[in-house]
Amino acid sequence: MNGHPTREEDFDLYALGALEGGEQQAIESHLASCADCARKLAEARGRVAMISFAAARVEPAAHVKELLLARVRAEGSGGVPARAVAPREADSGGGIFGRWWTAVLAPVGVALAIATILLWNQNERLNREMADLHATLITQQRNLEEARHAADLLAARDTIVVPLAPMPGMPNGIGRVTYNSKMGMLMYDGKVDPAPANKSYQLWLVPMKGDPINAGVFNPATDEISHWMMKMPEGITPKAFAVTLEPAGGMPHPTGPKVLAAAIS
Amino acid sequence: MNPQTGAKLDASDAALIQRIVQRDESALAALYDRYAGMLSSVLNRILRDTRAAEEILQDIFYQLWRTSSRFDPSRGSLAGWLTVIARNRAISRLRKHNPSSGEQLDENSVIVPTNLDNVVAEKEMMGRVKRALGKLPQEQRAVLELAYFEGLTHSEIAQRTGDPLGTVKTRLRSAVETLKRTLQP
């Protein structure tokens, strides 16, 4: 992505952590060089954080605060009035032997502390790299799996391809449903103009018997190609497919006008 | 309530941060009293493990104590930052990621729709959020909560619910649009 995200909600979706792969990387690469979008993301983070208020109120136990303050005091920060300081062991006596052991062990202790910090930092870095690699691997596996399913579907002899024709007076668009009842798989590809405000497109599988079945709700951006695969319900034989215009988020049953449609001959 | 406690409760986040920078433990205690309940709620909701929630809660305020000088209250919201950090850490713990992974979050990079440093504002915002979520269709609220409280991506939600990926994307986008409209000042 060279320009700004096309829709304001992209910042909220990014802040939620819902975006992945190319969508996520596109925003990240743009944010690095755009102060306006960085501010929009900060606002989106704040909005998204407010979802926390949906959680039932749980007050922490009193000991959490006590432990926190004890930890702060143990850190030994200066400038806090009435802070109790435990006497140091080296000051408590021990004569010449105490001072001798202290002189020997102190540098060893410092060396061990430095080594521990270095190892801890290295471990943290390796853990971060492993987590990033793991996330990339999962995304790639998911993409590969979907590509395999699509290849199987397209290669099967009994797979049926249904081009969807645009309806007069509706937004421009084309679409195609590729399905295989035996494999129980359905794939949609299409490109239609963005839906009007507060509306979504919804694909319906119209079976030989029974009510239309929801096969996906979508809201494409300008020039965006919509594509997804899904499992078909068992024992269903389609007689038609249609894309309708519905209230945002889709409906349990079709209520709006057809935008694309095709009967299966 | 003694006079000192009263002063602490009235102080702004910015004033308390300034006192923490000067190593005033009572300012940290005041900020803890102000926000620990909110953070504890979200931590417990995500983790469903009181002990883990308590550990993270303590760590967050300890981090605030250690890094308070980096926080500029004029550029960001302390309440927002604390909440985002709490959620990130809880999700990381839930998904057994390294706690620091994904937490490339500048202290001043969260701006909340309203100032939350008093009880009235917090309750008002809580009411607005609950009303907004209550108005969402059930399917939209479900995907929003899966994304926020479980940290699931679009694909992971689709896998979890069995809905097509396009449907999940549309539902989540519609949900955040509604939330944004509702929370706009």
What CATH number is associated with residue A232?
2.20.130
- Axis crossing angle, helix B138-150 with helix A9-16, rounded to the nearest 10: 50
Whether A125 maps to a domain, the answer reads yes
Contact between A52 and B41 using a beta-carbon 8 Å cutoff: yes
pLDDT value of position A83? 29
> Which residues does chain B have within 8 Å of residue A65's beta carbon, measured at their own beta carbons?
29, 32-33, 36
d(CA B101, CA A134): 12
Secondary structure E strands in A130-169: 160-166
Whether residues A108 and A124 fall in one domain: yes
- A140, A155, A170 - which closes a domain: A155
Residue A114, chain B, CB below 8 Å: the answer is no
* A10 to chain B: closest CA residue: B173
CA angle B41, B163, A205 (to 5 degrees): 150
Q: What pLDDT does residue B73 have?
A: 73
Q: The tokens of A20 are what?
A: 């992945």
Instruction: Tell me if A39 is assigned to some domain.
Output: yes
Would the CB atoms of B84 and A73 count as touching at under 8 Å? no
Which two tokens mark A216?
């996906």
Encode pLDDT of B78-137 as tens digits.
888 899 999 999 999 988 755 444 445 565 577 777 777 667 777 888 888 888 888 899
Is 0.90 topped by the overall pTM? no
Phi, psi (rounded to 5 degrees) for B42: -70, -35
Residues A189 and A223 in one domain: yes
- Predicted pLDDT of residue B141: 93
Specify the number of domains making up chain B.
2
One domain for residues B81 and B105: yes
Q: What pLDDT does residue A212 have?
A: 92
Same domain (yes/no): B156, B172: yes
Indicate the residue among B62, B87, B114 that finishes a domain: B114
pLDDT for B155 beyond 50: yes
Q: Is B29 on the interface with A (CB under 8 A)?
A: yes
Same domain, A237 and A183: yes
**Structural domain ending residue among the three candidates A23, A42, A75:** A75
CB contact under 8 A, A50 and B173: no
Which CATH number goes with the domain that contains B178? 1.10.10.10
Q: pLDDT above 90 covers what percent of chain B?
A: 54
Last residue in a domain, options B70, B85, B114 = B114
Q: What is the mean pLDDT of each run of 10 residues along chain A (265 residues)?
A: 75 93 85 84 90 90 91 66 33 44 68 78 74 67 77 90 91 91 90 85 91 86 81 86 86 90 89
Scanning A117-156 for CB atoms below 8 A from B yields: 124, 127-128, 130-132, 139, 142
Provide mean pLDDT across the span B37-62.
93
Distance from CA of B28 to the nearest CA of A (A): 8
Is A80 a member of any domain? no
Boundary-marking domain end, from A155, A187, A222 = A155
Q: Does A42 touch chain B (CB under 8 A)?
A: yes
Do B110 and B124 share a structural domain?
no
On whether both B1 and B62 belong to a single domain, the answer is: yes
Residues B107 and B142 in one domain: no
Q: Tell me which DSSP letter residue A163 carries.
A: E
Query: Does B41 share its domain with B55?
Result: yes
Where is pLDDT greater, at B75 or B92?
B92
Interface test with B, best of A47, A125, A130, A132 (most B CBs within 10 A): A47
Q: What's chain B's average pLDDT?
A: 84
ipTM over 0.85: yes
| Facing residue for B164 by CB, picked from A61, A215, A248 | A215
A229 contacts on B by Cβ (under 8 Å) = 164
Domain tally, chain A: 3
Q: Which domain covers residue A111, as residue numbers?
A: 97-155
State which of B114, B138, B168 marks the end of a domain.
B114
Q: Is A244 on the interface with B (CB under 8 A)?
A: no
Q: Which of B135, B142, B130 is nearest to B168 (CA)?
A: B142
User: Can you read off the two tokens belonging to residue A154?
Assistant: 């397209």
Residues of A in contact with B173 (CB under 8 A): 7, 9, 13, 219
Q: Which residues of B touch A217 (CB under 8 A)?
A: 164, 166-167, 170-171
Which residues 51-110 of B are in CB contact (within 8 Å) with A? 53-54, 57-58, 61-62, 65, 76-77, 80, 83-84, 86-87, 91, 97-98, 100-102, 108-110
Whether residue B44 lies within 8 A of chain A, CB to CB, comes out as: yes
Measured CA to CA, the distance from residue B31 to residue B12 in angstroms comes to: 9
Please give, rounded to a whole number of angstroms, the shortest distance from the CA of B147 to a CA of chain A. Answer: 6
Q: Does B6 touch chain A (CB under 8 A)?
A: no
Give bridge partners of residue A243 from the DSSP assignment: A203, A260
In a domain, A88, yes or no: no
What is the CA angle A34-A49-A130, rounded to 5?
70
Verify that A188 and A256 share a domain, yes or no: yes
**SS3 of B1, please?**
coil
Contacts of B52 in chain A (CB under 8 A): none
What domain range is B179 assigned to? Answer: 118-185
Together in a domain, B143 and B170: yes
Domain identity same for A148 and A168: no
Query: Do residues B124 and B99 both lie within one domain?
Result: no
Predicted local confidence at residue B78, as pLDDT: 87
Q: Which residues 145-174 on chain B approach chain A with CB closer than 8 angstroms?
A: 145, 147-149, 151-155, 157, 162, 164-167, 169-174
| pLDDT interval class at B157 (50, 70, 90) | very high
CB environment B40-59: b (16+ within 10 A), e (fewer): bbbbbbbbeeeebbbbbbbb
